[in-house]
Amino acid sequence: MDIDPLERGPQDACGVFGVWAPGEEVSKLTYFGLYALQHRGQESAGIALSDGERIVVYKDMGLVSQVFNEAILDSLRGHLAIGHCRYSTTGSPVWENAQPTFYTARDGGLALGHNGNLINTPELAAMLPGDRRGATTDTEVLTSLLADNPDRSTEEAAMELLPRVQGAFSLTFMDETTLYAARDPQGIRPLVLGRLGGGWVVASETAALDIVGAVFVREIEPGELLTIDERGVRSRRFAPAAPKGCLFEYVYLARPDTTIAGRNVNTTRVEVGRRLAKEHPADADLVIPVPESGTPAAVGYAEGSGIPFAQGLVKNSYVGRTFIQPSQTLRQLGIRLKLNPLREVIAGKRLVVVDDSIVRGNTQRALVRMLREAGAAEVHVRISSPPVMWPCYYGIDFATRAELIAGNLSTDEIRDSIGADSLAYIPLDELVSATEVPKDRLCRACFDGVYPIEVDEDSRGKYLLEKNCGTPDNGPLVAGRP
């Protein structure tokens, strides 16, 4: 069983990376690109690589640094690669569902990595040939449909299929010679293009370009398919753009050193904190963040309020996801595995505690209790996003609405539930304004229930494809743990 010492909060679907760079060690470039995107998915990691004649896929469960080592990367030779780190939003967190997925085509193979979540998966799965209807993820369905086009090139197969795909998808995929990247017409999940010497890189976030030394060129447009090979980059549009970028990327999902739609994420979060201080002041002695995601907003809150900023909580950076079941005693201490209070800093102080979001409330409840036990005189909780009241169907594994605390309790009731002296959230319009992106170009569904793409009730569910299907054979070229 996979245990997280803290409440499992909002999780993104995945991080994707792709590189076409003859003469470079693309396996290591992909490794470091995935390392930069590790925050987007910690369940499994994988790399598909081609030398121009054959695709090899290596993937396994665990963090990027656990799956790959120097010897493995040295054995993966070629000029073209895609990489993926996964958090499951469709299909179980098992090796068979790790990505990149791979299928054999008539003239070779096709590997694909996906960030997002499709909402018409049953319709797409019905298009699969009979011997491939054992797919258990939306990503596998896509891969199979793209590979099952013997009379068309990969590019033409994509141009035919992608207009029929609904939901959020930022894709990197490849055949033996060519790298492809595509983004859904709403552009819900981020995807960017970078230049690396004589080669090209695509990635979920600009931070991954930075870590491999690539220069940001532009965002891949909603509804755009890129084809990258020795002839350069070619762009084709498979659908009109109707931008609805995910607002929660600015709140929590993206790294603070990433830029989205021309706006640095850290700058946005600091500005949100300033606005939060103006909207919901508190009479307190210190502002402390819940590290790390609450830190920029806490800095902004301190600036906006004039209350001193302090690090009142220490985070153990080396505690990630673990498959070791803790003892009952450790489970009760849960939060202390990741966060521990600096008693000398917070004892006797009235605290403003800034966090990015509240999903179920378990983390905040444990945190407030821990701060009081450490001697805090008062605990005022400030949240740098509006109440999360609606589930996400586009690539964030939010709970069902019944499990979302803000979907069932008022702010005062949540305050009482977590034991805080006060609780306040940033208003939605203030959060949107801080991004400098027009409201009608953002998906805000988890906050206001307005979904940019209608979701069929029958198409919902993380395990939708696993109800009546066995595990498929993913092809003979897949390496890693059998």
Q: Tokens for 400, please give them.
A: 């069902």
Residue 95: predicted pLDDT: 59
Same domain, 236 and 280: no
For residue 477, is pLDDT > 70?
Answer: no
Say if 86 falls within a structural domain: yes
Count of Cβ atoms closer than 10 Å to residue 409 Cβ: 15
Alpha carbon distance 235, 182 (integer Å): 10
Same domain, 216 and 151: yes
Looking at 14, 85, 265, 298, which residue is catalytic? Answer: 14
Residue 74 assigned to a binding site: no
Say if 444 falls within a structural domain: no
Q: Using an 8 Å Cβ cutoff, are 401 and 390 in contact?
A: yes
**What pLDDT digit, counting tens, does each position of 185-220 carry?**
999 999 999 999 999 999 999 999 999 999 999 999
Mean pLDDT confidence for 228-251: 97
Same domain, 136 and 231: yes
Say if 460 falls within a structural domain: no
Residue 246 assigned to a binding site: yes
Q: Using an 8 Å Cβ cutoff, are 358 and 345 in contact?
A: no
Alpha carbon distance 212, 386 (integer Å): 35
The residue type of 154 is T
Same domain, 100 and 236: yes
Same domain, 233 and 202: yes
Q: Using an 8 Å Cβ cutoff, are 192 and 17 in contact?
A: no
Residue 281: predicted pLDDT: 98
Return the exposure string of 169-193: e unless at least 16 CB atoms fall within 10 Å of the residue's CB, then b. bbbbbbbbebbbbbbbbbbbbbbbb
Number of domains in the chain: 2
Same domain, 268 and 233: no
User: Which has the minimum average pLDDT: 152-156, 292-296, 401-405, 424-428?
Assistant: 401-405
Q: Reply yes or no on whether 14 is catalytic.
A: yes
Residue 334: predicted pLDDT: 61
Same domain, 109 and 50: yes
Same domain, 362 and 410: yes
Q: How confident is the model at residue 363 (pLDDT cuts 50, 70, 90)?
A: confident
Same domain, 356 and 233: no
CA distances from 358 to 64, 364, 404 (A): 28, 7, 8
Q: How confident is the model at residue 4 (pLDDT cuts 50, 70, 90)?
A: very low
Instruction: Tell me the pTM.
Output: 0.89
Q: Provide the residue range defining the domain that includes 476.
A: 14-244+465-480
Residue 446 assigned to a binding site: yes
Q: Using an 8 Å Cβ cutoff, are 133 and 48 in contact?
A: no
Residue 355 assigned to a binding site: yes
Residue 392 assigned to a binding site: yes
Going by the DSSP 8-state scheme, the letter that residue 43 receives in this structure is S
pLDDT, averaged across the chain: 88
Alpha carbon distance 32, 281 (integer Å): 42
Q: Tokens for 225, please give them.
A: 């398919």
**What pLDDT digit, counting tens, does each position of 158-179 carry?**
999 999 999 999 999 999 999 9
Q: How confident is the model at residue 104 (pLDDT cuts 50, 70, 90)?
A: confident
Say if 5 falls within a structural domain: no
Q: Long-range contacts of range 411-418, CB-CB < 8 Å, 24 or more positions apart?
A: 411/387, 414/358, 414/361, 414/387, 415/381, 417/361, 417/365, 418/358, 418/361, 418/364, 418/365, 418/368, 418/381
Q: Using an 8 Å Cβ cutoff, are 243 and 193 in contact?
A: no
Residue 6: predicted pLDDT: 42
